[in-house]
Amino acid sequence: MAVTLTPAAAARVRSYLAETPGGIGLRFGVRKSGCTGFAYVVDIAKAAGPDDSVFETDGVAVRVDAASLPQVDGTEIDFVSQGLNQQFVFRNPRVSAECGCGESFSTDADQAA
């Protein structure tokens, strides 16, 4: 599988990269958080990690560390605008549960552990 960007997300990341000296792509992963287990982490990558998997969409590199990959593999990242609000949206086929506020998620593998 792979982590992919929609055209809107790729355009938004390219604009962030243009404003970030030394940016080499998007860093995408997870951290332990919330009542359900994991929260997404998105930032501009400024250096390659030794265990990064790199997925490219429309010329934009998405870097995912080895520890995060099992939770996010297959995710499509979109960028949506609704009224005055703009945000990245994650369509992750591995998600099996989310907390009520939408802050955290878990996968079947997490729940079995």
Tell me which amino acid residue 20 is.
Answer: T
Looking at the whole model, is its pTM more than 0.75?
A: yes
Q: Contact 44/16 with Cβ under 8 angstroms?
A: yes
d(CA 55, CA 49): 14
Per-residue pLDDT of the chain (113 residues; tens, 9 = 90+): 899 999 999 999 999 999 999 999 999 999 988 676 888 999 999 999 999 999 999 999 999 999 999 999 999 999 999 999 999 999 999 888 877 666 678 887 665 45
CA 84 to chain CA centroid, nearest Å: 22
